[in-house]
Amino acid sequence: AGDVMKKRLTRTAAAVAALVLLFSSLTTVRALDLSAEHAILMDAGSGRVLYEKNADARSLIASTTKIMTALVVCEQCNVLDRVRIMPEAVGIEGSSMYLQAGEILTVQELLYGLMLQSGNDAAVALAIYCGGTVEGFAQLMNDEARRLGLTGTHFENPNGLDNENHYSTARDLAKLTAYALENEVFSKTVSTKSIQVGDRSLTNHNKLLWRYEGADGVKTGYTKAAGRILVSSATRDGRQLIAVTINAPDDWNDHTRLLDYGFQQFEPRCLVQAGQCLGQLDVLSGDGATVDLIAAEDFSYPVAQGEQVETRFPGPGFVYAPVLAGEEAGMAHVLLDGVPVGKIPVVWGESVATPTEPEEPNWLERILGGKK
């Protein structure tokens, strides 16, 4: 009886928490000494937030607005299109690539002026070309923000000039940037250090491209009211991190600290491998007592030392026969220190048939005494 009870307890535990990985060397998460009023650090691939500070407060965002401007243009326009500069795009206040009315540039050249030189005139030129008017383009920006779930964001213009109805959050900027970096044109543009556009020599304002190993973007921003704002990204060994600081007097050093922290304290691990048995379920009304639950795909996630990872299976903890090997068995939930971080499809590890009912003897067999 003791062995039976032990087996049943083992099965129940496997169904509730099939995988527990405990990294023995605990690491104390040190407080980062940042100048920023608002900050966030995100793993681009998984979306995991590795650090945050007042990340949901709405703030002026200055020229980091142009991340959304560039994204909308990259998604809706052909970068080889030639754009004739309208008078409305000339002489815009603030940073400029010094466009002249009537000159013709490609969309890609204007994107370089937008993201390297932070040209407010390039922003207006692209907005008029893509959206018809600045107001029409701002609507496209807000439509994209809603589509991406940026609930703390609203745009009034394509360049980030101060407006009380023009704002975002550190978290929204990180989410926006993670999505935008998946666009090859956007990614190529923001990682460019310098380029010649006609007789213009454009140099990227993002000093991290020269100062930080693996830096590959993204955008600076500044107005007197907003302060210094920086969105950066860096990639090492195929892993990309995104850092955002808002109102950060010492932003270059803030980003170095943030990115170093992310690369040093968190390691991407394959927590579950395809084909791995994650546990068992009792099979009711079946020939077999249990059935294995097998992971159908890998699951990787950035994890710090000392963090506990487990998988759980929602549901009653049992299944009715019949069960067919390889068929979908639902989803296993992956938790990090008790917080859900992902799902993995699982399949049945073997087939379990419904018990065959004994066949009733026919009339002759009953007369002769039944089947032999």
Provide the annotated active-site residues: 63, 66, 118
Residues 43, 303: Cα–Cα separation, whole Å: 11
Give the residue from 201, 208, 161, 173 showing the smallest Cα distance to 71: 173
Q: Any long-range contacts for 95-98 (C-beta under 8 Å, 24+ apart)?
A: 95/63, 95/119, 95/120, 96/120, 96/121, 97/121, 97/122, 97/197, 97/200, 97/202, 98/200
Residues 299, 345: Cα–Cα separation, whole Å: 10
CA-based end-to-end distance of the chain = 36
Q: At what angle do helices 120-131 and 134-147 cross, to 10 degrees?
A: 80
* Residue at token pair 């903890």: 317
Residues 314, 321: Cα–Cα separation, whole Å: 18
The two three-digit tokens of residue 65, written as one number: 């607005």
Paired with 51 in beta bridges are 41
Residue type, 26: L
